[in-house]
Chain A
Amino acid sequence: MANLRTPLYDWHAAHKGRMVPFAGWDMPVQYAGIIEEHKAVRTGAGLFDVSHMARLSFDGPDTLPLLEEVFTNSVAGMKEGQVRYGLICREDGGILDDVLVYKWPYGYAMVVNAGNREKIVAWLTERAAGKQVKLIDQTFDTCLIAVQGPKAVELVSGLFADDVSKLKYYYATPTRYRNAGCMVSRTGYTGEDGFEVGLPNALAVPFWEELIAKGAVPCGLGARDTLRLEAAMPLYGHELNEQTDPISAGLGWAVKLDKGEFVGRQALKELPDTRPVRVGLELDGKRAAREGSEVFVDGSALGAVTSGSFVPHLQKSIAMAYLPKKYAAVGTPVLIDLRGTKVDAKVVPLPFYRRKS
């Protein structure tokens, strides 16, 4: 089956975007180069086509009960325009996806990982049975473009009918771009300030090119991955999967055990203390740890790396891994097996990178 394409596919292909298959889509992994793109986001502004992310909306009086049932974070207390991060879990606490829930004036919406779209739609549809709620998959109706970096606010200034610089972090607003309805959200996946903008498909290229003309650098999935790694944001399929739970993944802040019943709550309340937890590791030297590299403590392989790279901004070899709690303390020395060579590393605090506010 042919991969899906975003409204910017032709633009990417015509501008040296190296297209790779990702989660059922053809997406650019880089244009000029991952390192250059990464640095542009840390020092200026980068532009990401994230139209592959699944966008669902909900309609009907039972929307709130459905969302409270499937989402680990609280929905009832959300203010209009607020965005909340949380997990969708199985009964046993295993993570089905990490998602954003949006509260709009007219209802709720959800942004889901591209690779989990079909799974989550099926899960929600099953859970919605017998409830008065309609689930609408709007992924293909609009594009989603992220503008990220310290210059993001300056770059979007004047583009929208409303002043989006006043949006608080994790808030969103409907507004207009070139007289068409759009939405702007103060969210992102890079560790920088910035926006994610949902637009009609026909405005994808004009918006993209207008921002490039103002100095934003087009960035591919490669830089998106190294940026989120520096910011220690977990990635589904790597740090998160159905065998991991949100508490062990360090996402307990997005799990509200006291909000009432939700799928996975009981299992998460009774989680055994023996589960390994997500840690940050910094390696000696410039060699990178990769997903699957074994982590040794006191001579035994006790965990494995979930993501790792020599990252462009920090100029360090860093990794995330799961380790038993007793070895998760900052400063714990470990060895990481890189293709037969054991390299010294130590547990360091997360995130690796935090922007100056």
Chain B
Amino acid sequence: MTTPPDLRYATSHEWVKLDGDVATVGVTKFAVEQLTEPTFLELKKVGLTVKPGDEVGIIESVKSTSSIYAPVAGEVIAVNADAVNDLAKVNDDPFGGGWMLKIKLAPGASLDHLLTATQYDAQIAGH
């Protein structure tokens, strides 16, 4: 599988990379493949306060529309305009240039509720 071992994952297919108290969030390669090539991406605005499960964006393909959910609690401090404007970044490099949001963790918030790469691989293997 192509699941980076150093990230954490939501069951709804977002990945999280923690750097200090800032979580970078995107959607997994598996999710992008299931969706098929993205045709539209819309992300919420910087400044929004979110808790896990809040909708922070919409991603569409020719086949379907899916919500993107906040995997952690905090404040949106950046959105990736490059990905919105060039969906090939999401399609070709979902764990890198296709990142979507940066969320500054709320005090006391953690990634403990998220899946490890091994657990996420097990989830998608059962798909």
What residues make up the interface of A, taking CB atoms closer than 8 Å to B?
Answer: 18, 29-30, 33-35, 38, 222, 225-226, 286-288, 290, 309-312, 338-339
Contact = CB atoms under 8 A, between A and B. Distances in A.
Contacts of A288: 39-40, 60, 62, 65
Nearest to A36: B37
A279 B73 CA distance: 44
Interface string B42-84: 1000000000000000101111110100000000000000000
A35 B37 contact: yes
B36 interface: yes
Contacts of A287: 40, 42, 58, 60, 65
A309 B40 contact: no
Contacts of B58: 287, 339
B90 to A, nearest CB: 14
B63 A34 contact: yes
Contacts of B67: 339
A290 B61 CA distance: 11
Contacts of B61: 34
Contact of B64 (A18, A35, A290, A312): A290
B65 A30 contact: no
B40 A34 contact: no
A286 B60 CA distance: 9
Contacts of B36: 29-30, 33-34, 222
Interface string B11-39: 00000000000000000000001001101
A287 B57 CA distance: 13
Nearest to B91: A33
A249 B91 CA distance: 37
Q: What 5 A-B pairs come out closest when comparing CB atoms?
A: A310-B39, A286-B40, A309-B62, A34-B36, A226-B62
11 contacts: A34-B61, A34-B62, A222-B62, A226-B62, A287-B40, A287-B42, A309-B62, A310-B60, A311-B62, A338-B65, A339-B58
A225 B40 CA distance: 19
A311 B39 CA distance: 9
B39 A286 contact: yes
A306 to B, nearest CB: 15
A29 B36 CA distance: 10
A315 B36 CA distance: 16
B59 to A, nearest CB: 11
A332 B65 CA distance: 26
A287 B39 CA distance: 8
A116 B62 CA distance: 25
Contact of A35 (B33, B40, B62): B62
A226 B61 CA distance: 11
A190 to B, nearest CB: 15
B65 A290 contact: yes
Contacts of B60: 286-288, 310
Given A339-B58, A339-B67, 13 more contacts: A29-B36, A34-B36, A34-B37, A35-B37, A222-B63, A225-B63, A286-B40, A287-B42, A309-B63, A310-B40, A310-B60, A310-B62, A338-B65
B62 A339 contact: no
A54 B67 CA distance: 36
Which interface residue of B40, B65, B67 has the most chain A CB atoms within 10 A? B65
A89 B37 CA distance: 38
Contacts of A35: 37, 39, 62
Contacts of A222: 36, 62-63
Contact of A339 (B40, B63, B64, B65): B65
Contacts of B64: 290
A315 to B, nearest CB: 9
